[in-house]
């Protein structure tokens, strides 16, 4: 049986070697999009029992953006994604994976991310959604970062996009004042790290959830409970 101090020293050395020769995700580009329509606190005060002062004191929110009729979550996501790609001086063909955080999908399936994938001309890799509501972008960033760290992707497009105005109860002042519509995006790319103070990129991610608090805030209408969704196939699929 060896000395515990020798074992501890060996483990520390192994960790240092891993740090020196690791791959990090660095931010290559940023993008964002907000719909043109603005709904102010004063305007909300005309429809629910609230006031500009009441909302600001409790939330700090002065206004929110609302998607136009016919403007989908994928439209917001695409606008933010294109800006992020331009910022990174990349095109859709340079991206290996798209992770889109959203709770207001265009359809139940396929993933809203696949609409963005098609629109930016990305015809390889993978595109999928993550549903973690307010923390969705952090979850998506964590997933994309792990893909890059493990060498399964060199580049990633991470997007958070919502059209929450479509699922709000605009007569409930406790919730309708909190949400709006918009999108943000980031392009990540792999970069070798040497474990020095000059390293850039995502240092670590820590995500948590506690299902015991599910009922504190939720939106009903899930297909497995309400069975309100219909399955459609294209003519091409029928012919196949």
The full DSSP string for 25-72 is EEEEEEEEE--SEEEEHHHHTTTSS--HHHHHHHH---EEEEPPTT--
Q: Over the chain, what is the mean pLDDT?
A: 88
Length of the chain: 240
1 pLDDT tier (thresholds 50, 70, 90) = very low
Contacts of 151 (CB under 8 A, 6+ apart): 23, 190
9 pLDDT tier (thresholds 50, 70, 90) = low
User: pLDDT per residue over 50-70, tens digit each?
Assistant: 999 999 999 999 999 999 999
Least confident of 1-10, 148-157, 179-188, 201-210: 1-10
Short-list 213, 187, 227, CA closest to 95: 187
Our CA dihedral for 131, 137, 142, 145, rounded to 10 degrees, sits at: 120
230 pLDDT tier (thresholds 50, 70, 90) = low
State the average pLDDT over residues 95-99. 98
State the average pLDDT over residues 78-104. 97
State the average pLDDT over residues 163-183. 92
Residue 219: pLDDT over 80: yes
Q: How far apart are the first and last CA of the chain?
A: 67
State the average pLDDT over residues 6-17. 57
On the CB side of 199, how many CA atoms lie within 13 Å of its CA?
19
State the average pLDDT over residues 20-25. 78
């Amino acid at each position: 049986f060896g000395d515990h101090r020798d074992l501890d020293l060996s483990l520390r050395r192994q960790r240092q070697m891993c740090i020196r020769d690791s791959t990090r995700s660095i931010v290559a580009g940023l993008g964002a999009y907000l719909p043109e329509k603005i709904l102010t606190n004063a305007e909300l005060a005309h429809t629910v029992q609230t006031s500009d002062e009441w909302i600001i004191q409790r939330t700090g929110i002065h206004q929110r953006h609302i998607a136009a009729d016919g403007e989908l979550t994928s439209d917001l996501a695409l606008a933010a994604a294109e800006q992020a790609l331009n910022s990174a001086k990349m095109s859709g063909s340079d991206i290996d994976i798209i992770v889109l955080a959203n709770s207001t999908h265009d359809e139940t399936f396929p993933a809203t991310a696949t609409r963005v994938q098609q629109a930016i001309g990305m015809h390889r890799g993978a595109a999928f959604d993550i549903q973690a509501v307010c923390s969705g972008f952090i979850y998506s960033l964590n997933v994309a970062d792990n893909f890059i760290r493990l060498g399964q992707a060199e580049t990633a497009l991470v997007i958070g996009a919502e059209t929450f105005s479509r699922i709000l109860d605009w007569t409930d002042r406790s919730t309708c004042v909190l949400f709006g519509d918009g999108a943000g995006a980031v392009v990540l790319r792999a970069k070798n790290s040497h474990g020095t103070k000059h390293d850039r990129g995502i240092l670590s991610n820590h995500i948590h959830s506690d299902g015991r608090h599910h009922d504190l805030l939720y939106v009903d209408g899930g297909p497995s409970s309400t069975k309100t969704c219909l399955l459609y196939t294209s003519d091409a699929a029928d012919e196949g």
